Structure 1
Amino acid sequence: MDRRDFIGSAALAALLPLAGSGSAEAAERRRLLPAALNPGDTVALVSPSSATDERLSLQLAQEAMQALGFKVKTGEHYASRYGHLAGTDAGRAADLNAMFADREVKAIVCVRGGSGAARLLPLLDYKAIRVHPKVLLGYSDITALHSAIQAQTGLVTFHGPIGAGSWNRFNVDQFKRVFFERELMTYKNPIEAGDELVPRKHRTLTIAGGKAQGELIGGNLSVLVGLAGSPYMPDFAGKILFLEDVSEAPYRIDRMLTTLKLMGALDRIAGFVFGECSDCGPGEGYGSLTLDQIFDDHIKPLGIPAYRGAMIGHISEQFIVPVGGKVELDADAGSFRMLEPVFQAA
């Protein structure tokens, strides 16, 4: 699950101004909402990134969607393989385009992440996505799709569990509250002491206190930074940036945040939320910056509300958050909440 392929070097070309920022066209696209989702609807399973290594994972993804009350349609290439990818770029993009155009399909759930979704971005039919706005769910490498669709269409998409991932009680509860009950969610980690004197699990840490409002953008840090300088990078102005990553040494987290700083992105955001950085400890050698030091260097001087530890990332229990949805961040409380509906009115 290494995403270094998406980072590359910190070339000057990656430090170009953000595409679409401040344009009238971008402003018009900012609030495109997907159609509401209900039990009994048809959802599509697609594989826009890496191939699934076991057929059982594909079966489990279908069974999970059926258990949630949906009919299931699968992309023509969702079980394909081309190297490490789930089929050729043309095939994977065709599946996404077909499912957005299919009027029967009400939501698109990505089977897994991995790598490769960024290769599809020039092949997607953004006009069809604007004409047929619908739910898109996934995380990790799916950040490329969230970001590009946000930049090109303004459609609100959803960062959360993949089809072949864990559908435990927490994730199912999140799904039902977001999609079926259409609750204006408050995202605050549930904290239980268990047998500890002081609770340790699911703790958050304030980087800088305060409250801020804005639309959510972000996802996987490595994948997001890999879009720098392209027309698929979203506008950061006034946004609440949320990030997570996995299997990245602290020096690489530092390098990627430096890239966001150098391109002017960090100076434009209104608030910051960092989820989990799983398996991101320092390696052997002369030592390493800690994540605390990295956030103190890059985020604290911004003077904006910021906290870390949100249940977002490569973890079994994770929030389902609306990319493009308007929220209020409370960094002292370690939480953020939806301010507006994220689905079309019935």
Structure 2
Amino acid sequence: MNRRTLIKGLVSVPLLGGLAAAPTAGAAPSTGELRLPRRLERGMTVGLVTPASNVWENEDIRFAIDVVKSLGFRVKEGEHLYRRNQYLAGPDAARAQDINAMFADDSVDAVFCLRGGYGTPRILPMLDYDTIRENPKVLMGYSDITALLNAIVQRSGVVTFHGPIAAQNFTDYTLAEFQKVLVEGQSPVPLGAPPPFETRPGQVERDNRITRFRGGSARGRLIGGNLTLMCSLLGTPFEPDFRDKLLFLEDVGEAPYRVDRMLTQLWLAGKLDEVSGIAFGKFTEADVDGNSFSIEHVLRERCAGLEVPVVRGLMIGHVEDQTVIPVGGMAELDGDAGSLKLLEPVVS
């Protein structure tokens, strides 16, 4: 289920807890060298949190706990893990409190997000970025969690991870990507290369192919994630620094004209001219009718005037086979080979 279908049919009720006062535009981001979380090992304790929406049923939470345990970890449940308020997993303050508590808790080694949905940007002003910086831990999730991942890198200087949520199956591909980045700490290592062609129900060979929009190679630290969320950070104190960065983007359930609109927003804001390269992942469940450009057309046209490498098709996004991308990690994008390579360790 994507963000656009999440609230369909819900009855409007007052939200539990209002929005916090917005931070001032002059708030200064953290500066200094990036901090690396510890490499994951079997037996470590993973804190499970819901920064955005919750799953529909408690049994889905128990499934997520079993998934994390199957990876070899113990689980510590966030205090408010089971709370729900329509499309939010409880009040903003409660969701932020669980994240702050997990980073402050010495018994917790890593923090996994149960799911995305909607609501993460609402809690950004409530996070204790100093505590997060002093206690670097693996934080992983995707979709709406994009806002949290990039804000923490920008404010705390701690590398975060765009990767699977707890409430999903780990395919063989997903597990291998997870292990090489977070467990083995490999570098240099390719990220998000499509798996070999397979015959699966509903899958065709073109699903996992790399499209090369512009050649050349570039290096930079990685920023990005969900396109909608990256646009939502523009103009806020949590907007990442796009200069000389490798930008990776994905989305789900967005028609080509909406993808066009958001990329145009990034372009008009000057952000596409600042990056050193762009790696598009998957744009799944796009609502394309007979009067529409294709997603490929939109991506190609919007990036046509850029003088940086641009590729499409890495295993980033709302897909079963999913890579782990370290936000803040140093990488190289090769537009001719259609590859993304992590250059340095992102766990200590």
Q: TM-score, normalised by structure 1?
A: 0.89
User: Is it true that 1:327 corresponds to 2:331 in the alignment?
Assistant: yes
Which residue pairs with 1:91 in the alignment? 94
Kept in 2: contact 1:2–1:248 (CA 8 A): no
* 3-state secondary structure, aligned to 2:206: coil
Which residue pairs with 2:244 in the alignment? 238
Kept in 1: contact 2:181–2:346 (CA 8 A): no
- For 1:225, the aligned partner's letter is C
Which residue pairs with 1:301 in the alignment? 305
Which residue pairs with 1:313 in the alignment? 317
Kept in 1: contact 2:283–2:295 (CA 8 A): no
For residues 74 and 145 of structure 2, the distance between their equivalents in structure 1, rounded to whole angstroms, comes to 23
- For 1:191, the aligned partner's letter is P
Residues 202-251 of structure 1, C-alpha deviations (whole Å, 9 max, x = no match): 10100101111001100000011011100111100000000000001111
* 3-state secondary structure, aligned to 2:109: strand
For residues 307 and 246 of structure 1, the distance between their equivalents in structure 2, rounded to whole angstroms, comes to 18
Kept in 1: contact 2:45–2:108 (CA 8 A): yes
- For 2:124, the aligned partner's letter is L
1:337 to 333, 337, 341: 341
* 3-state secondary structure, aligned to 1:268: coil
1:247 to 245, 250, 253: 253
**Mean Cα deviation higher: 150-159 or 166-175:** 166-175
Matching of residues 214-233 of structure 1 within 5 Å: 214-233=220-239
For residues 201 and 297 of structure 1, the distance between their equivalents in structure 2, rounded to whole angstroms, comes to 21
Change (3 A) 1:322 1:3: farther
Kept in 2: contact 1:240–1:271 (CA 8 A): yes
Deviation at 1:19, TM superposition (A): 8.0
Aligned residue pairs total 324
Matching of residues 1-346 of structure 1 within 5 Å: 1-2=2-3, 27-29=31-33, 31-184=34-187, 185-187=189-191, 188-192=193-197, 199-283=205-289, 287-344=291-348
Kept in 2: contact 1:272–1:304 (CA 8 A): yes
Deviation at 1:42, TM superposition (A): 0.6
Kept in 2: contact 1:193–1:199 (CA 8 A): yes
- For 2:3, the aligned partner's letter is D
For residues 321 and 75 of structure 1, the distance between their equivalents in structure 2, rounded to whole angstroms, comes to 24
Kept in 2: contact 1:19–1:230 (CA 8 A): no
Kept in 2: contact 1:189–1:335 (CA 8 A): no
Change (3 A) 1:19 1:323: farther
Residues 239-286 of structure 1, C-alpha deviations (whole Å, 9 max, x = no match): 0000000001111101101111111111100000111101113236xx
- For 2:235, the aligned partner's letter is G
In structure 1, list runs of 5 or more residues that go unmatched: 6-17
For residues 288 and 200 of structure 1, the distance between their equivalents in structure 2, rounded to whole angstroms, comes to 20
* 3-state secondary structure, aligned to 1:231: coil
- For 1:205, the aligned partner's letter is T
**Mean Cα deviation higher: 185-194 or 104-113:** 185-194
For residues 19 and 241 of structure 1, the distance between their equivalents in structure 2, rounded to whole angstroms, comes to 25
* 3-state secondary structure, aligned to 2:3: coil
Which residue pairs with 2:19 in the alignment? none
Kept in 1: contact 2:67–2:169 (CA 8 A): no
Kept in 2: contact 1:34–1:135 (CA 8 A): yes
Deviation at 1:194, TM superposition (A): 5.2
For residues 330 and 158 of structure 1, the distance between their equivalents in structure 2, rounded to whole angstroms, comes to 21
Which residue pairs with 1:12 in the alignment? none
- For 1:67, the aligned partner's letter is S
Deviation at 1:289, TM superposition (A): 2.5
- For 1:328, the aligned partner's letter is E
For residues 214 and 225 of structure 1, the distance between their equivalents in structure 2, rounded to whole angstroms, comes to 20
For residues 316 and 154 of structure 1, the distance between their equivalents in structure 2, rounded to whole angstroms, comes to 30
In structure 2, list runs of 5 or more residues that go unmatched: 7-24
Deviation at 1:3, TM superposition (A): 5.5
Identity across aligned pairs (percent)? 45
For residues 163 and 26 of structure 1, the distance between their equivalents in structure 2, rounded to whole angstroms, comes to 29
For residues 339 and 295 of structure 1, the distance between their equivalents in structure 2, rounded to whole angstroms, comes to 26
- For 1:296, the aligned partner's letter is R
